[in-house]
Amino acid sequence: MKVQFIGAAQTVTGSKTYLQVDNKKILIDCGMYQGIKSIVDKNYNPFSFDPAQVQFLFLTHAHLDHCGMIPRLYKQGFKGKILCTKNTRKLAEIIMMDSARIQQSSFLDFKRDKKVRKSLKKQREALYDENDVRGVLECFETYDFDHKISLGKIDLTFRKAGHILGASSLEIHSNNMTYYFSGDLGRMNDPLEYAPYIPKKVDHLFIETTYGDRLHDKEDPVEELAKILKANQKSHGRVLIPSFAVARTQLLLRHLYMLFEKYPELKLPIYIDSPMTKKVTDLYLQESGELRVDKNTLQDYFSIAKFLKWQSDYKKLERDQHPCIIISASGMLSGGKVLQHLNTIARNERNHIVLVGFQGEGTLGRDISQGIDIVKTKSGKLPIRAKVHHLHTLSAHADKLELETWIKSIESGPTNLYLMHGEKETVENFKTYIDEKFNCKTTIAVENKEIEI
Ligand SMILES: [Zn+2]
């Protein structure tokens, strides 16, 4: 098998791994690069392989950094099959469509709006449009977890990764060897997702290392959120939570439900302003069979929030100015409806802004989390007078110890370990840590480097 690490090599976005095995050309994930401009610009580079030659794309899960370039691949000639689980296909449709719309509207805003042109200076054309997304959806074939798929001399099985709805790890058998691609690995004790599947025997393990040198905070997120709501009760303000539409907002609603049960005096109306979050939340409810909690419980969690439907709902919320919690995407404030809420909430010192996840370099979320008091937005300068909080307890990725425990739990192997999907320093630290613990050969993925195994 020849393996070429294309994206997510000493970085956490742009996941793409190119395999050549049994005369087949296979791509694992086709994600978008995200973050600072020089990284995002890489999305416009030609693919390092011919998209028309790729017969199969195995998709681990539907986060944009794993599926966001699939329509671009299609636009550039891909005609193969995309294999994934049923819910990854459903989520990928929502996410790729949303990405196409955002790219198209950002480009139009730039062309039409002088203020945006002045602030951004440059805006590239959309990588793809909604028609490309519709076209590539025809290439999808979905499979159940734990079902062996035979593709000539290769067998593929999707295993539960416990990261988001539909997320899988890939177990590939070929030439009496087992190759295991972890995809993004979830937590061992997530309230909604099951823990990741543990394979019995692995020869070559390709593992993500996003949190390979860190341990997640041990604090109870319910208590952390309660502290913020108590402070807000005193200041009579509003709480804005920029949140990711997939998995994070659903988990957040579970924590807020628990919080209101424990501290009913802190109960506040919750409004969610994000059409994509509404679609994803409905899908979580519809597909609750894949989760740890039953449908009724999930329905209870989600019932504490009201989804804003129309612009008039937003205007009414703005007029009333009563204390409330507003949840909106995106989680790193890199776009979406959350920006219009930020524009009013940030200006008032009575209010609170709660960041609930990793804030990538170059994002507005990162600037705010670092305490910058006047930030630059698309529509100009914005003073941050609201109190900013950053919760580090809601991650959907396994941390250093969870990764180690997961590898340890594999009965036989691995003999070779390949470290992917982590920032340079993190991967290096994880290598040092893991080399002391395991007797296997570890290799750090290098961008565009091909290895033969
Ligand atoms: Zn992910």
Of 1.10.150.110, 3.30.70.580, 3.40.50.10890, 3.40.50.300, which CATH number belongs to 221-394? 3.40.50.10890
Cβ contacts of 402-405, under 8 Å, gap ≥ 24: 402/185, 402/187, 402/188, 403/185, 403/207, 403/209, 403/211, 403/212, 403/430, 404/433, 404/434, 404/437, 405/188
Kindly give the distance from the C-alpha atom of residue 63 to the centroid of ligand 1, in angstroms, as a whole number. Answer: 5
Of the candidates 66, 69, 68, 78, which has an alpha carbon nearest to the alpha carbon of residue 25? 78
C-alpha 385 to ligand 1 mean position (Å): 32
Beta strands, E only, 222-368 = 239-242, 270-272, 305-307, 325-328, 352-355
CA distance 356 to 189: 18
Residue with tokens 């000539």: 152
Q: Are strands 204-208 and 177-181 parallel, antiparallel or unpaired?
A: parallel
> 35 C-alpha vs ligand 1 centroid, how far in Å?
15
CATH 3.40.50.10890 domain extents, the chain: 221-394
Which residues, 6 or more positions from 312, have their beta carbon under 8 angstroms from its beta carbon? Answer: none
β pairing state of 81-85 and 56-58: parallel
C-alpha 187 – ligand 1 centre gap (Å)? 12
Distance (Å) from CA 171 to ligand 1 centroid: 18
- Report the C-alpha gap between 445 and 34 in whole angstroms: 19
| Angle between the N-to-C axes of helices 248-262 and 295-302, in degrees from 0 to 180, rounded to the nearest 10 | 80
* Cα-to-centroid distance, 28 and ligand 1 (Å): 14
Q: In whole angstroms, give the CA distance from residue 203 to residue 444.
A: 16
R_g over Cα of the chain: 22
Angle at 296 between CA 290 and CA 300, to 5 degrees: 115
User: In this predicted structure, what is the pLDDT of residue 118?
Assistant: 67
Max Cα-Cα span within the chain: 66
CATH architecture of 2-214+398-452: 4-Layer Sandwich (3.60)
Tokens 């996003």 label which residue? 210
Distance (angstroms) between ligand 1 centre and the Cα of 267 equals 31
User: Is the pTM higher than 0.75?
Assistant: yes
Q: How much distance in Å is there from the Cα of 292 to the middle of ligand 1?
A: 19
Q: What is the C-alpha separation between 265 and 84, in angstroms, rounded?
A: 45
Report CA(167)–ligand 1 centroid distance (Å): 8
Q: How would you write the pLDDT of the chain (453 residues) with one tens digit per residue?
A: 999 999 988 988 899 999 999 899 999 999 999 888 888 899 999 999 999 999 999 999 999 999 999 999 999 999 999 999 999 999 999 999 999 998 988 777 767 777 666 666 667 789 999 999 999 999 999 999 999 999 999 999 999 999 999 999 999 999 999 999 999 999 999 999 999 999 999 999 999 999 999 998 889 999 999 999 999 999 999 999 999 999 999 999 999 999 999 999 999 999 999 999 999 999 999 999 999 999 999 999 999 999 998 888 888 898 888 999 999 999 999 888 999 999 999 999 999 999 998 888 788 999 999 999 999 887 789 999 999 999 988 888 999 999 999 999 999 989 999 999 998 999 999 999 999 999 899 999 999 999 999
Q: How far is ligand 1, taken at its centre, from the CA of residue 247, in Å?
A: 10
